[in-house]
Structure formats: structure tokens, C-alpha cells
């Protein structure tokens, strides 16, 4: 994601178009999405280094790779002949496999949406669709399979990263 901070204004390039985003709106949208206070949201955002900011097409490639890796794991789950540590009376093998498959597909869909934002033809509708896909993926992290594989702090951090990207996109379309 390309950004240039000038005072309290952030410039973000989406679809070949420069959007100006007020840092206040970015903080407000991030706090609203995560449930953090304004101060906590600002502190979190201030810890993000420029090195961590990547162009949308690169972010998309990473997200697609994660989704493909997830689907690859799903393809190796054998519910007939194997038993897994994450299985329980509340989470059957088949249910876990189904949840992981949905997550993998949602990760790939979000990755493709990010890649679209990195292209020169992204529109306001593409931004809105990406925001929707971020919400979908964050909702996926409430699945039993995720809770049994990741720690709560890992889940929280993944969701914060997604929420930060969402806040940038929301601020871009709200401020312009």
C-alpha cells in the first residue's frame, strides 16, 4: 500500500488514483472496527512502520498465497483414516475441514480484491467490495477451527491488520 504522510493527511494510491485520508478519520474508523479506544487505535497505527506498508497488488499476492496454502492443507485432511488434535465433540473433522475451506476461499477472494485495488482500473465499487471481503474474513476468525489452531492474541493481531486496511479504504472513500 503506498502512502505518504504529510501532517495529519495520508495519501493512499488506490487503482492509480491518489486519495487523501485524514489521520483522524483513519484512527476513528480503526477504533470503531476493532473496539479499541481512540488513544489505543492511534498508538497501534503509530507503531506501523513504512516497511510494513506494501502496495495493494503485493498484499493481494500474499493473501492469495495464504489462501492457497490453507486450501492445500484442507486437501490433505483425511477425516476417514486420521484424527486431528483440533477435533472435539464440538468440532468434527468434517466441520473443521469445511470451515478451513471457506477461510481459504475467502482469503483468495480478498487477495484478488486487493490486486484489483493495485491495478489502474479499480473503482469505488471495488473498494466497497474489498471492505466487505475484509469483514467476511474477520468474521471467519470466529470459527471453532481457528480458535483451536491459533492463540487469541494471534487472531486479534490478524484481525487488527485487516481492520487497519479496512479503515484506510473506508477513510479513502469517505474523505474523497
3-state secondary structure of 126: helix
Tell how strand 9-14 and strand 17-22 pair up: antiparallel
- Element containing residue 10 per DSSP (H, E): strand 9-14
* CA separation for the pair 137, 158 (Å, rounded): 10
Q: Which of 4-8, 47-51, 59-63, 150-154 has the lowest mean pLDDT?
A: 4-8
The pLDDT assigned to 4 comes to: 41
Q: Which of 3-17, 39-53, 109-123 has the lowest mean pLDDT?
A: 3-17
15/124 Cα distance (integer angstroms): 9
C-alpha torsion angle, residues 61, 67, 72, 76 (rounded to 10):
160
What is the C-alpha separation between 114 and 122, in angstroms, rounded?
10
Average pLDDT across the chain, whole number: 92
What mean pLDDT comes out for the span 20-47?
92
Model confidence pLDDT, tens digit, residues 153-165: 999 999 999 999 9
pLDDT at 62 over 80: yes
Domains in the chain, number? 1
Would you say residue 119 has pLDDT above 60?
yes
Domain that holds residue 36: 3-175
- pLDDT higher than 80, residue 5: no
Lowest-confidence segment of 10-19, 23-32, 78-87 by average pLDDT: 10-19
- pLDDT of 7 higher than 80: no
pLDDT average, residue stretch 109-131: 95
| 106 and 137 Cβ atoms separated by less than 8 Å | yes
Amino acid at each position: 500500500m503506498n502512502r505518504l504522510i504529510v501532517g495529519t493527511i495520508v495519501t493512499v494510491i488506490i487503482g492509480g488514483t491518489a486519495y487523501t485520508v485524514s489521520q483522524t478519520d483513519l484512527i476513528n474508523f480503526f477504533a470503531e472496527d476493532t473496539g479499541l479506544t481512540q488513544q489505543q487505535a492511534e498508538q497501534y497505527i503509530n507503531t506501523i512502520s513504512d516497511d510494513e506498508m506494501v502496495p495493494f497488488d503485493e498484499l493481494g499476492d500474499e493473501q492469495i498465497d495464504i489462501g492457497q496454502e490453507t486450501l492445500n492443507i484442507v486437501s490433505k485432511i483425511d477425516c476417514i483414516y486420521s484424527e486431528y488434535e483440533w477435533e472435539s465433540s464440538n468440532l468434527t473433522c468434517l466441520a473443521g475441514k469445511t470451515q478451513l475451506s471457506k477461510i481459504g476461499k475467502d482469503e483468495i477472494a480478498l487477495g484478488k480484491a486487493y490486486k484489483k485495488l493495485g491495478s489502474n482500473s479499480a473503482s469505488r465499487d471495488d473498494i466497497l467490495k474489498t471492505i466487505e471481503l475484509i469483514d467476511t474474513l474477520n468474521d471467519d476468525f470466529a470459527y471453532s477451527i481457528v480458535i483451536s489452531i491459533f492463540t487469541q492474541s494471534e487472531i486479534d493481531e490478524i484481525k487488527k491488520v485487516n481492520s487497519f486496511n479496512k479503515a484506510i479504504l473506508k477513510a479513502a472513500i469517505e474523505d474523497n
